[in-house]
A and B are shown apart, each in its own frame.
Chain A
């Protein structure tokens, strides 16, 4: 892919991700919300692909879009929310919530603005210098070596976390008088 096409794809993916996230958190119908967030997840997977993270893009599609979001959809359908459409969708404090979201976004945005003074430069120029120094890595082989080398203990802990979550979900969702 030529550089211009890749750039255009990146900016399309970024814009579509922002729009679908914004629409997703403001829809009235929960199922419509889920479908917009699904669009967000797929566009984020495309961004991962453009950022040389092919394995993570596949994991994003399979685990996030395929498993987690379908799980949410099943719970929405299981709950049977008849009055959901009639009720107001925001609390009375939604303006404060918008201000909090804006300031969070602004803070995180300021972290990457390039300062004219190199002494007080943000994160982005430093990253560019380091990237210029070394050859790009990040293939699946490197991820596997990192996952089973220095990250072996956290990797095993992740399985423990998931096991605890499975047991917790079963205990929480079980009916009280159902033990026999």
Chain B
């Protein structure tokens, strides 16, 4: 037993909170995506912690799927960023108001 079981979950909680803060507060769209990656990593930490605590490999399998989905999200999201940047240079989200009514 390396750490008490709650410690891993607490670390995951703190990392997730940092990710939420970054996603909501930053105005650069790429840094918002990076904050989302921080949140996904926090979830992976808690999944692996549960996997070790419960002695069950399924937590690690779920973490693998999370990584696969994160890769897909990065691909589509950055494709969107490049497409947006072609219409309107810059990466600030405050300029993207075409969908507002």
Binding site for B on A (CB under 8 A): 3, 6-7, 10-11, 14, 17-18, 21-22, 24-26, 30, 33-34, 37, 40-41, 44, 47-48, 50-53, 55-56, 59-60, 63-64, 67-68, 71-72, 75-76, 78-79, 81, 83-84, 87-91, 93-94, 96-98, 100-102, 104-109, 111-114, 122-125, 127-128, 130-131, 134-139, 142-143, 145-147, 151, 154, 158, 161-162, 164-166, 168-173, 175
Contacts and interface: CB of A to CB of B under 8 A. Distances in A.
A172 B82 contact: yes
Given A18-B14, A138-B60, A78 B82 contact: yes
Given A56-B63, A72-B74, A105-B14, A44 B25 contact: no
User: What is the predominant secondary structure among interface residues of chain B facing chain A?
Assistant: helix
A162 to B, nearest CB: 5
A165 B92 CA distance: 24
A128 B5 contact: yes
In the A-B complex, the 7 residue pairs with the smallest Cβ-Cβ separation, listed nearest first, are: A105-B17, A101-B21, A25-B22, A97-B24, A108-B13, A165-B72, A97-B25
A83 B28 CA distance: 11
B99 to A, nearest CB: 16
22 contacts: A7-B2, A21-B19, A30-B28, A37-B37, A50-B2, A55-B60, A75-B82, A79-B30, A84-B28, A90-B26, A91-B27, A101-B19, A107-B13, A124-B9, A137-B55, A138-B51, A143-B60, A147-B64, A161-B68, A169-B76, A169-B78, A170-B79
